[in-house]
Amino acid sequence: MPKPPTADRRPPSADRLPPFLAACYRQPTPYTPVWFMRQAGRYMPEYRALRERYGLLELMREPDLAAQVTLLPLRLGVDALILFADILLPLEALGLTLHFLPGKGPVLEPRLTPDRVETLPLVDVHEALGFVFETVRRVRLEAPQTPLIGFAGAPFTVASYAIEGGSSRHYIETKGWMYHHPQAWDALMKRLVRVTLDYLKAQIDAGAQAVQIFDSWAGALSPGDYARYVKPHVQALLRGLQATGVPRIYFSTGTAGLLPLFQDLDAEVIGVDWRVPLGAAWEAVGRHHAIQGNLDPVALLAPREVLARQVDAVLAEARGQAGHIFNLGHGVLPETDPDQVAFVVEYVHERSSPLSADG
């Protein structure tokens, strides 16, 4: 397997890391680095043009196309790229079929049931998901100067799709597993951690210089349930990545009430949504973590002066301390004007630079 450029795989002590990677390690940076969740997506005309010709899964499974999409946000001036893929791809490797229905989101068939955990196939991620690693290699060759973030879903969030058969409002079936079938739940979490570890390690081997774990729906859980049924498995996943030497970002939404439980997670960076002040979130998770966030994605639809005010508010919460990575609190919405996204990149860089008059 061709090895990627290794220049950016230096240990945290090395200097001259790109700003995004330096910020992951809470090292000072010349400006606050910026990237956006779903920065390559439906809000971009170039992406929509590709989607007119290819299905969503087709775009992800064809490395040439997936790399092309991953690279699109370069023109916006972002400080990191993120692999174009989906957190549900590994479920296909576990024998579920994934569709995306217009207006309904992902659908997984058949729904996973407790009796089937032990019969899930043992997955060779290279065989089942090799196209993802090939995409990573191509992106690194095309944009060797820009850090590339790999990613995967966290075990709870991925399991919720498999168990509910898609998105969910109340997570009745998923919580039902926890409450009624705690052993099957534990077995499922362990299986997902193992597959996800293989999957992320292979992304890192292919050249990913950081990884983000999306626990997007952890906010559905009470702190007690999170601590009992979910956190041990998140921690196992994070610890399993320790030896790779790349920074780990743990992202979730709706978790303002869970943040103190993230204090001892082995992640360099905690990503938070816009429903909590960034400063309070940083205090709650502990200053030993870097923090990522947290502009409301809807703010990108606001008039320029309102948008600027909201960006300023996020930067003010971060107080210019080393270890802030600017991002949205969740993905860019399809309704967004790309010019607004480019404006935020430029504005954050300018306002956070020491050369800025009042930055």
225 scored as a contact of a second copy (CB under 8 A): yes
| Contact region with a second copy (CB under 8 A), list: 44-52, 91-99, 141-149, 305-313 | 305-313
154 scored as a contact of a second copy (CB under 8 A): no
Q: In degrees rounded to 5, what are phi and psi of residue 185?
A: -60, -45
| Contact region with a second copy (CB under 8 A), list: 4-12, 168-176, 262-270, 350-358 | 168-176
103 scored as a contact of a second copy (CB under 8 A): no
Is 42 an annotated catalytic residue? yes
| Contact region with a second copy (CB under 8 A), list: 118-126, 230-238, 248-256, 319-327 | 248-256
Nearest to 275 by CA among 258, 253, 292: 253
Residues comprising the chain, all counted: 359
* Residues 6 or more apart in contact with residue 323 via CB below 8 angstroms: 23, 24, 25, 26, 27, 269, 287, 289, 290, 291
Least Å distance between CB 126 and a second copy? 36
165 scored as a contact of a second copy (CB under 8 A): no
Q: What is the Cα–Cα distance from 292 to 33, expressed in whole angstroms?
A: 10
Q: What is the Cα–Cα distance from 95 to 98, expressed in whole angstroms?
A: 10
Least Å distance between CB 171 and a second copy? 7
What DSSP element (H or E) covers 59? Answer: helix 56-61
Q: From the candidates 9, 10, 25, 42, which is the catalytic residue?
A: 42
E strand residue ranges, the chain: 81-82, 97-101, 105-109, 148-153, 210-215, 248-252, 269-271, 290-295, 324-328
Q: Considering only residues 139, 221, 265, 270, which one is a binding residue for a second copy as defined by CB under 8 A?
A: 221
Contacting residues toward a second copy, per CB under 8 A: 170-172, 175-176, 179-180, 219-225, 254-258, 260, 274-277, 280-281, 296-299, 301-303, 306, 310, 313, 329, 333, 335
Cite the active site residues. 38, 42, 51, 86, 161
